[in-house]
Structures are given as C-alpha cells and as structure tokens.
C-alpha cells in the first residue's frame, strides 16, 4: 500500500510513476484526504474545547460555585453540545478513513527508477542467459522433442483425464516416477535453500482475508482465488501469503533483519484471466506445488537482497542443468505489489522458447505497510516499515516440465538430473510397465 503522505506531498511524482503502470486518477483520493483532514481538525478542536469546558466546570466548583447553579449548568450544556457534535463527527471521520484505505488498497506499487518502462511483456529486457551450450547440444543429439505432457502420458507418470474425473480440467494426477520426481524436486529445493541460510517454514494452507489483503492479493485478485465462504478462509495462491503475515502487526528489531524464510506449499489459482492459454500440460494448473523464498529486510539493503534472491533461484536451475534466461520486467508487466522484478524463464525445447519459472520481486515497503510490519533500530525513537522480497525457488510443476523435455533421450526415456538421482534412486525414467495405472 502506498503512503497517503507521499501521495499528498509529492502528488506529481507519484502520478508520473503510476502512469508508467496504467491509468490511475489520484484526484478522488486527494479530495477524500483533504476532507478527512478537515474533519479531523474540526474533531480535534472540538475535543480540546470539550476538555477545556470540563476543566472550567471543575475549577468553578472548587472555587465554591453551586454545582446546580446557572454558571455551571451553562458550561455543562455547552459541553454536552460539543459532545453531541463529536458523536456525529467521529463516525464520519472513520468512514472517510475507510474510503481512503479502500482506494489505497487498489493502487499498485510504484516502480523503481531502474525498471524499464513498457506496456507489455514484449518490452521486458533480457539481462543474461545461462546454458546456451546445453541447448545446442540438445539440438544436435535430438532433432525433435515431445512435449512434456505427451511424454509424461506416454511414460505413464502423469494423467490429466483421470484428474479431470476426480476434480475438473487443469488438474493432474502424478503416478509412480512422476510423483517421485515432484517429491524429489521439493526436497532438493528446500534443502538447497536451508543450506543457503533460509529457515524452512511449513505454514497453513488456508489463509484468512486479512492475510490475503496484507500480502496484496485482495481486493485486486479476488476472482483468481478459491474461497471457503463459510469460514472466511482462502486456499493459498502462493506461500508468499502466509509468509508475509507471519509477522503481521509486529515491531521487529533491526538486529533481527534480514529474516529469510523458505516454504513448500500447494498453491491454488483459478487463473481467471488466462482461459484458452496453456490448456494442456503442467504450465498453468489450478493446483500446483511451489517452493517459495521470502525475505524481511532493512530498507537500505533491499535491492542488494533482490540480486541475492535472484541468484538463489538461478542456482536451482544451474544445479539441475536447465538452460534459462533472466528478464527485467517492464513497468507494464510487473506484478501489482512489486517495485522491481526479475523473471527467470526456463528453456522448453518442444516449444523452442523460454517460459517463466520464477519471479523474484522487491516490494519495498508496500507489503510492510499493508500488513503493518515495522522494525525499530536501537537508540531510535520511531519505527520504519520493513522491506519485503519474494521469489519462486521454484515452481515445481514447471521445473518438472523442463526436466522431462530437456532430459528426454532418443530411446524415449528421460534421464534424471544428477542432483536428483539420490532422491529418486534411479538414473532414468523409462517406458511404463503394463501394470502402470
């Protein structure tokens, strides 16, 4: 959430920054803010008058005035009138504040000055690539590639038809080596991040509306979520939601920062805005597994921490020997809460292109302000909002898709990446047996 004081005091700068992300009119917000401050001053002045009247009544009585006399009665009547006015102003002020917050919750984060300006993904900027030699070697050894979903179904390790029978479309059932590969990837990713200094968390999968609001999913992305109305709980769309809210309404100490968490969760999204896209395979499912990295950091170091977070996600791909590239997202393609984002895109040879597998974002104080997470430095009176960062480390289903495609062999099998063989207990995933489900 943006700071209303920043919008009030630097309106032109904020309006210019928001214009890089879309069409946002700040005037209705500014009008409400001016009205709220006017009412607040009126209420404050009346409260001071009420207090002064109370003091005068006490003084007159102490000086010997008759409590039932005309002077005291007149003062008390004046005090009652002021209290009546206050009783009408206070709910009006609360309503104005609620209206202001309602608008603030719909405004995206301001892009950092280093973010490329653009309207769509076509204007994202490639920063670097890794694994070009792996792509070239694959092309020379295997002229044509099966898609991961055709390969998975042929090997009997995934089944979309039976998943649809159990649930609906855009779900998958993983079988045998498919389930083992998913589990191996989760274990590998978590162990890698723990060794790198992240604390593993196993959070609730159901989260309340306050948590969804604090992390930025509500109100903007309500239609993308799966909600349990009876309990005001949502199936988490990403572990970013519970991880953000672990410290909601807390004041940390500067010595506690940075706090680095990682977590595996199933994630649930309706993908309401993507109907007709990626209707087959593991790329865009309603339920998918993901390992998330999350940081609470000091404002002075958040952009350095973004570079470190991105390197942590890249290291997972490098250990798996999966070619990828890093993009700096433009202003028009960044997520709602991000101030700066790097996307990692993994190589899918069947499509002959890169596809997103991780987004690493610095949200600066956007989530800290929404979730009221602050810190206090030793010797300082005031508090500051923490900066938060999040990144997929990685999306597990998309990683499996990339492994199946990049590691497929000429004989129709799939070689298991070296780093995963100790988890899988095998070097290859071969043709299915006749007893496969």
pTM: 0.93
Q: Can you give the pLDDT of all 437 residues of the chain as single tens digits?
A: 999 999 999 999 999 999 999 999 999 999 999 999 999 999 999 999 999 998 988 888 888 888 888 888 888 899 899 999 999 999 999 999 999 999 999 999 999 999 999 999 999 999 999 999 999 999 999 989 999 999 999 999 999 999 999 999 999 999 999 999 999 999 999 999 999 999 999 999 999 999 999 999 999 999 999 999 899 999 999 999 999 999 999 999 999 999 999 999 999 999 866 666 778 999 999 999 999 999 999 999 999 999 999 999 999 999 999 999 999 999 999 999 999 999 999 999 999 999 999 999 999 999 999 999 999 988 888 999 999 999 999 999 999 999 999 999 999 999 999 999 999 999 999 854 444 44
| Phi, psi torsion values for 238, nearest 5 degrees | -170, 150
Residue 233, SS3 per DSSP: strand
398 flagged as catalytic: yes
Per DSSP (E only), the strands in 97-185 are 125-130, 158-159, 173-174
* Domains in the chain: boundaries: 25-104, 121-429
370 flagged as catalytic: no
433 flagged as catalytic: no
- The response to whether 357 counts as a known ligand-binding position is yes
154 flagged as catalytic: no
Catalytic residue among 129, 162, 248, 284: 284
- The response to whether 163 counts as a known ligand-binding position is no
Class of the CATH-defined domain 25-104:
mainly alpha
- The response to whether 65 counts as a known ligand-binding position is no
How wide is the angle at C-alpha 295 spanned by C-alphas 293 and 297, nearest 5°? 165
- The response to whether 240 counts as a known ligand-binding position is yes
Which has the closest alpha carbon to 340: 366, 375, 370, 378? 366
Class of the CATH-defined domain 121-429:
alpha beta
93 flagged as catalytic: no
Place of tokens 């930025």: 216
């Amino acid at each position: 959430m943006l700071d209303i004081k920043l919008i009030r005091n630097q309106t032109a700068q904020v309006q210019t920054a928001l214009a890089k992300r879309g069409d946002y009119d700040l005037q209705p917000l500014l009008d409400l803010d001016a009205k709220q401050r006017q009412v607040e001053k009126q209420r404050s002045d009346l409260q001071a008058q009420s207090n002064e009247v109370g003091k005068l009544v006490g003084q007159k009585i102490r000086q010997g005035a008759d409590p039932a006399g005309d002077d005291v009665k007149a003062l008390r009547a004046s005090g009652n009138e002021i209290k009546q006015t206050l009783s009408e102003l206070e709910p009006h002020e609360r309503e104005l504040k609620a209206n202001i917050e309602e608008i603030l919750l719909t405004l995206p984060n301001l892009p950092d000055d280093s973010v490329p300006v653009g309207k769509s993904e076509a204007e994202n900027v490639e920063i670097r690539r890794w694994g070009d030699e792996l792509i070239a070697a694959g092309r020379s050894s295997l002229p044509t590639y099966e898609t991961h979903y055709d390969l998975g179904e042929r090997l009997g390790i995934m089944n979309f038809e039976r998943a649809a029978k159990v649930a609906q479309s855009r779900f998958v059932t993983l079988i045998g080596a498919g389930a083992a590969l998913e589990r191996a990837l989760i274990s590998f990713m978590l162990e890698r991040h723990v060794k790198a200094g992240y604390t593993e968390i196993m959070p609730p999968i159901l989260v309340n509306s306050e948590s969804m609001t604090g992390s930025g999913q509500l109100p903007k992305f309500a239609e993308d979520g799966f909600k349990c109305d009876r309990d005001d709980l949502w199936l988490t769309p990403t572990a970013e939601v519970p991880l953000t809210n672990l410290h909601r309404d807390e004041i940390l100490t500067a010595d506690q920062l940075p706090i680095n968490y990682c977590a595996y969760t199933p994630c649930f999204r309706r993908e309401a805005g993507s109907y007709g896209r990626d209707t087959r395979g593991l790329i865009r499912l309603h339920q998918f597994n993901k390992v998330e990295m999350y940081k609470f950091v000091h404002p002075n170091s958040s952009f350095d921490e973004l570079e470190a977070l991105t390197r942590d996600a890249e290291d997972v791909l490098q250990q798996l020997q999966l070619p990828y590239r890093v993009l700096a997202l433009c202003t028009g393609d960044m997520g709602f809460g991000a101030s700066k984002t790097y996307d990692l895109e993994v190589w899918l040879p069947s499509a002959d292109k890169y596809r997103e597998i991780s987004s690493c974002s610095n949200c600066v104080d956007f989530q800290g302000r929404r979730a009221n997470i602050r810190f206090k430095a030793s010797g300082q009176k005031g508090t500051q909002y923490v900066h938060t960062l999040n990144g997929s480390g990685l999306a597990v289903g998309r990683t499996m898709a990339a492994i199946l495609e990049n590691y497929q062999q000429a004989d129709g099998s799939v070689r298991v990446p070296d780093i995963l063989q100790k988890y899988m207990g095998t070097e290859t995933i071969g043709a299915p047996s006749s007893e496969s489900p």
